[in-house]
Amino acid sequence: MSLGSLSASLTRKSRSNFYFAFLTLPRPRRDALYAVYAFCRTVDDVADLGSDPVAQRAGLARWREDVARCFEAGATPVHPIARQLKAAVAAYPIPRAALEAIIDGCEMDLERVRYETAEDLEPYCYRVASAVGLCCIEIFGYTDARAREYAIHLGKALQLTNIMRDVGADARVGRVYLPQRDLKDFGVSEDDLVAGRHGEAFVRLMTHQAARARHFYAAARAAYPVVDARSLVAAEIMGRIYHALLEEIEGRRFAVFGERVTVPARRKVAIALRCWAGARLRRNRRAA
């Protein structure tokens, strides 16, 4: 299997909303996105799948070394996915700081995961999601600097949506991302999350989280650079699919403790087609 095929295979197997959005891209950009996403999945697995923090930190340290090799002329990364990432870095101005921030975010998950306030949670969301977006937009291409602000806000919105969807599963492995102050204010305990107690207090708590996620979706929309609509169509597809996921969660009154909430494939197709058609229409209007 080629390195490019390895990255693409890992992305497909994840059944990711990101993979669905990548299908709209030309092949060279798509291959670069596969490499970035495979990197993200692999370093996340280092933090998620092990049980020895010392070994996990060592694994992340090796990834830091491989990221450094991606930016060093003549250096060859050790991990096959890192070698594909190096090719992506050579082709597109992917920021090293963003790749390192992603590793930093994964390393945060090796600690006892608790955040006192929403403001305390934001740096984590930036590292594990906004930094990914900052890598992606360099591959998509853009001309308006507001694209970076758009990527940062959208990443936070996506991560907060993920946190809401996975709140029970995360709590059962000792990770509580919902702010401790919110839990206290709404009268929900960590034991309630672990046990999957879906009561009115939990619904109110999650309604509050949804409002916060919607704030970041709105901020991303306000920063969206219309001039780059065509090149950022994959980002728009990702954002719209995750917004649809938030709607699915809300539509179930935040019943997230059972079967994992997903967006039906047919709805993803419809979202992708609308985004693609909308981008073409905006481009044609500008050309006229």
The predicted pLDDT at position 16 comes to 61
57-79 average pLDDT score: 97
Q: What kind of architecture, by CATH, is found in domain 112-288?
A: Orthogonal Bundle (1.10)
> In this model, does residue 38 exceed pLDDT 90?
yes
Q: How far apart are the first and last CA of the chain?
A: 46
Q: Tell which wins on pLDDT, 21 or 250.
A: 250
| pLDDT tens for each residue of 188-230 | 999 999 999 999 999 999 999 999 999 999 999 999 999 999 9
Residue boundaries of the structural domains of the chain = 1-111, 112-288
The predicted pLDDT at position 148 comes to 98
Name the CATH superfamily, with its identifier, for domain 1-111. Farnesyl Diphosphate Synthase (1.10.600.10)
Q: Tell which wins on pLDDT, 125 or 275.
A: 125
> In this model, does residue 123 exceed pLDDT 90?
yes
Whether pTM > 0.85 for this model: the answer is yes
> In this model, does residue 8 exceed pLDDT 70?
no
262-279 average pLDDT score: 89
Q: Would 1-111 and 112-288 be classified into the same CATH topology?
A: yes
The predicted pLDDT at position 137 comes to 98
- Give the chain as a DSSP string: --HHHHHHHHHHHTT-HHHHHHTTS-HHHHHHHHHHHHHHHHHHHHHHH-S-HHHHHHHHHHHHHHHHHHTSTT---SSHHHHHHHHHHHHS---HHHHHHHHHHHHHTTS----SSHHHHHHHHIIIIIHHHHHHHHHH--SSTHHHHHHHHHHHHHHHHHHHHTHHHHHHTT---S-HHHHHHHT--HHHHHHT---HHHHHHHHHHHHHHHHHHHHHHHH--GGGTTTTHHHHHHHHHHHHHHHHHHHTTT--SSSPP---HHHHHHHHHHHHHHHHHHHHHHH-
CA atoms of 14 and 180, how far apart (whole Å): 31
